[in-house]
Structures are given as structure tokens and as C-alpha cells.
């Protein structure tokens, strides 16, 4: 099996399948009714809530089931902000949060609130002191993911939660990627998660609001799920989600050690097998099954198609995907290469042989894409005094970087290359290329069209 995109959606766990099928016959009735069928459904729902609360490490009455992890995030942020509106309307998020958090922040800002984005280091982690510095008297809520969805970096939740608690500010933790591996440490106030990330069925999210946290549910009042998740509960899916969470937790310690060994193998061998590759994300504080790398001179979408033909399903945060022509906000915030980005996220039980086969086919796949993009650039190069100008206007990354790499040797050491580009990804990829190739990135300046990026040959 070559499915290596478990961070997007993990395959349905066998226990989840069994629980789902078994509860279809018992969990179809309205759990709010007092007759026999309703009582059976209520027993299943209560048991699932108890199991999920035990896994999270919270009280049973603090946890509700939502229709998705995204819905849990939106509800959690909106409710926490509304509950503390008298305190202020300032929201803090990290620059690498999941899009569901950032979209909520955009809505809050459009409604008159203020938002502070805390930057991350090159490994993708926030500095707790930066979070502390962002806290203000009018801060209503802070948000921090437990681990990043694109590069696997774990965040210092415990330290940030301590700072927030000392300031009297609730911290919302998006635990979608990490909850299957263990509870989230720290004195957090609100937590969200999504069942399909740990092998449960899609369409089930968790929202936990600690007792004592001011929370005002938004939208029409509904009597179900403490008024925080309107609509009839999907009891079979909820039961399967809780059962699979308990099951993956029982396997977590042993499986985490095995997956760490496999991802360390990928991290070490990819740069040996493929030239001009940057492995991104924190090398130590990271999720067990996630490894991400970026390849110079490679179109991310083309590489994913090439690997798909070889039988491997991976994802990408590359700037060149079918859904967007701008760099991934995570890679951009980290300041790392976005070209040819590949995220490998191994599912539970993945075979070692599949990882070895992936490493065997990867070099050929990268070479094939690079060969297709290796267009001659002689007509695009002109000289202006002592500066070599590369006109890459109208060309999408990685072409501007490829053209830069081909001509850098034509200028003397200390000479300049001026790359003209109107692709936003070049703002990230050209400096990243300079760092990887030991060249000096001078900066950017406005051009008649697009932007001019200045590179000085240093070696």
C-alpha cells in the first residue's frame, strides 16, 4: 500500500469499522427520547463521550461532538471570543495555524476585531516568549496548534498555556494532528480535534471547553450537545470515532517508535538520493509519522502526479498546485523552500517495504520532472552594465529559480543577477535557493512589471 497522506485523512481503523457497523443497529434512534430505542442510543452516545473524554483528559460534561474538526474550530473560536467580548476583541494566532483557524481570524478581523500573528522559526515552531509579548489587556483568546499539519513540528503548548493562564487569557489548542498519539499537556482552556485524522470516520469533531471558561455559543439555540453543536447526533460515527481513538492510543507508544525510525530513514536518505533537497520542519520535536522536504527546480503538482503513477499518494504544500499559485502559508512563514514540496505522512501499520520502494522511485520521479522543466534560457538573459538580467515574467515557479541557477555561473564572483518575476512564490524561493547554494540574496526592488530579485554570486 502506497498511501502516504495520513495527515490529511487516516485510513479507517478496523476497530472503527467494527464499531460503526455494530452501532448502526442500535444507535439510530433519538437519544433525547425516553423510550427503549432512545435509551439504547443515549447509552451508546454517553459511552462514546466518556471514552473520548478519558482520551483527552477532560470532564465528560466539557466535551461535545461536532460535525467536523473545522466546525469545532469555528465554534470554539467564535464562542470563546463572544464570551470574553467585554475584555476586548484581540485574538492571537500563530502564523502556521490550520486554515480553519486563520479563516476564523479573518472573519473576526472583518467584524472589527484585531489579530496578532506570532511568527515561527525556520523549523516551524513558535517562541513562547513571542506569545507572551503578544498578550495584551484586551486579548480575548489565543490559539496554538499542538503540531503542524504540513511539516509535523510540535509546538510548545505547555509553555504558551502557562503564559496565557498567568495573563488570564484562554488558550485554544487545535489538536487534530496529535490527539491520536496522546493527550495534550498544559493548562489549555479549549481544545478541538477531528476523528478522521486518527482513523475514525469523517464527519466527527471534538470540541472541549474547560469549566470556568467564558463561552457564548453563537447562532440559533439548540438543545443538543450543550447547545454548542446543533443538529441530530450521528451516533454510529461518534461511537466509531471514540472506539478508534481508544484503539490507536493503545498502540501509540509502540507504533510511534516504529514510525519515527521510518521517517528518520526518509529524512536522512532523501538528501543522499536526490540532489538539491531541503528537509523542513523541526528535526527532533515532531510528529512520529510526518516528514516534509522540498526539491529545487521541481513543480510540486507535477512531482505528485509522477509519484502517483508509481503508486504513491503524497501531498504537497508547494506553491505550484492546482488549487493555488501562491506558496503555502506554513512554508512562507518558515522561510523555507516551497518548490517541489512533498509531505510524507505514514499511516499506522505501514510496511517498511513500502517506504523502501518509495525511496527507490523518488530519485527517478524528481529527475523526470526536472528534465521536463529544463527549458533553455539563453533568450531570456541580457546584460545591463555589470548585472545579468533574467526575464522570468509570466513564468511560474520553479522556472525563475531554474533560470537563475543556469546563469549564476556566467557572472564573476561578486557580480549581480537580477531576476524579474511576477510570481509571488519567487519572493520565498529565490532567497531559499541562495541559502542552499551559498549565494548572497541582496533583496528585491520594484520593476516595471513584477519584482526584481537581486542575487550576488558569492561562490
Active site (catalytic) residues = 320
Q: Would you call 219 exposed, middle or buried from its count of C-beta atoms within 10 A (0-12, 13-18, 19+)? A: exposed
Query: Half-sphere exposure of residue 458, counting CA atoms within 13 Å on the CB side?
Result: 12
Q: Among 445, 417, 410, which residue's Cα sits nearest to residue 433?
A: 417
The whole-angstrom separation of Cα 394 and Cα 417 is: 18
First vs last Cα of the chain: how many Å apart?
44
**d(C-alpha 324, C-alpha 320), whole Å:** 7
- 8 A C-beta contact, residue 169 and residue 139: yes
Question: Who's near 24: CB < 8 A, 6+ residues apart?
Answer: 236
Upstream peptide bond of 258 is cis (omega within 30 degrees of 0): no
84's grid cell: 470574553
For residue 272, count CB atoms less than 10 angstroms from its CB and return exposed for 0-12, middle for 13-18, buried for 19 or more: exposed
280 sits in which H/E element: strand 277-280
Q: Quick one: cell of 373?
A: 522543466
Residue listed under C-alpha cell 552594465:
385
Element (H, E) at 233: none
Amino acid at each position: 500500500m502506497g498511501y502516504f497522506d495520513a495527515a490529511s485523512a487516516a485510513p479507517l481503523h478496523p476497530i472503527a469499522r467494527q464499531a460503526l457497523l455494530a452501532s448502526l443497529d442500535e444507535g439510530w434512534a433519538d437519544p433525547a427520547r425516553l423510550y427503549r430505542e432512545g435509551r439504547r442510543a443515549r447509552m451508546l452516545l454517553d459511552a462514546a463521550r466518556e471514552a473520548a473524554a478519558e482520551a483527552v483528559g477532560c470532564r465528560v460534561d466539557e466535551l461535545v461532538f461536532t460535525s467536523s474538526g473545522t466546525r469545532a474550530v469555528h465554534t470554539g473560536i467564535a464562542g470563546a471570543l463572544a464570551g470574553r467580548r467585554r475584555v476586548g476583541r484581540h485574538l492571537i494566532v500563530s502564523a502556521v495555524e490550520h486554515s480553519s483557524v486563520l479563516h476564523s481570524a479573518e472573519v473576526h478581523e472583518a467584524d472589527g476585531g484585531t489579530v496578532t500573528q506570532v511568527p515561527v522559526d525556520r523549523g516551524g515552531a513558535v517562541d513562547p516568549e513571542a506569545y507572551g509579548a503578544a498578550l495584551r489587556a484586551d486579548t480575548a483568546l489565543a490559539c496554538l496548534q499542538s503540531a503542524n499539519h504540513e511539516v509535523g513540528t510540535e509546538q510548545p503548548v505547555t509553555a504558551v498555556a502557562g503564559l496565557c493562564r498567568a495573563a488570564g487569557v484562554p488558550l485554544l489548542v487545535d489538536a487534530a494532528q496529535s490527539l491520536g498519539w496522546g493527550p495534550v499537556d498544559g493548562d489549555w482552556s479549549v481544545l478541538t480535534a477531528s476523528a478522521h485524522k486518527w482513523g475514525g470516520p469523517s464527519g466527527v469533531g471534538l470540541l472541549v471547553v474547560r469549566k470556568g471558561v467564558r463561552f457564548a455559543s453563537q447562532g440559533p439555540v439548540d438543545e443538543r450537545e450543550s447547545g454548542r453543536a446543533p443538529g441530530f447526533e450521528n451516533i454510529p460515527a461518534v461511537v466509531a470515532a471514540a472506539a478508534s481513538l481508544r484503539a490507536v492510543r493503545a498502540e501509540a507508544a509502540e507504533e510511534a517508535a516504529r514510525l519515527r525510525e521510518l521517517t528518520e530513514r526518509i529524512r536522512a536518505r532523501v538528501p543522499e538520493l536526490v540532489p538539491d533537497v531541503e528537509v523542513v520542519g523541526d528535526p527532533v520535536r515532531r510528529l512520529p509519522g510526518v516528514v516534509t522536504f522540498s526539491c529545487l527546480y521541481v513543480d510540486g503538482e507535477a512531482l505528485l502526479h509522477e509519484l502517483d503513477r508509481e503508486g504513491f499518494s503524497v501531498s504537497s504544500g508547494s506553491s505550484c498546485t492546482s488549487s493555488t499559485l501562491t506558496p503555502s502559508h506554513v512554508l512562507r512563514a518558515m522561510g523555507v523552500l516551497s518548490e517541489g514540496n512533498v509531505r510524507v505522512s505514514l499511516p499506522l501499520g505501514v510496511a517498511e517495504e513500502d517506504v523502501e520502494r518509495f525511496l527507490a522511485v523518488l530519485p527517478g520521479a524528481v529527475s523526470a520532472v526536472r528534465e521536463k522543466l529544463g527549458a533553455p534560457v539563453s533568450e531570456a538573459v541580457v546584460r545591463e552594465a555589470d548585472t545579468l538580467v533574467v526575464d522570468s515574467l509570466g513564468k511560474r515557479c520553479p522556472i525563475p529559480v531554474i533560470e537563475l541557477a543556469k546563469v549564476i555561473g556566467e557572472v564573476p564572483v561578486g557580480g549581480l543577477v537580477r531576476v524579474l518575476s511576477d510570481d509571488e512564490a519567487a519572493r520565498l524561493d529565490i532567497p531559499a535557493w541562495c541559502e542552499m547554494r551559498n549565494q548572497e540574496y541582496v533583496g528585491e526592488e520594484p520593476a516595471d512589471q513584477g519584482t526584481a530579485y537581486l542575487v550576488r554570486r558569492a561562490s
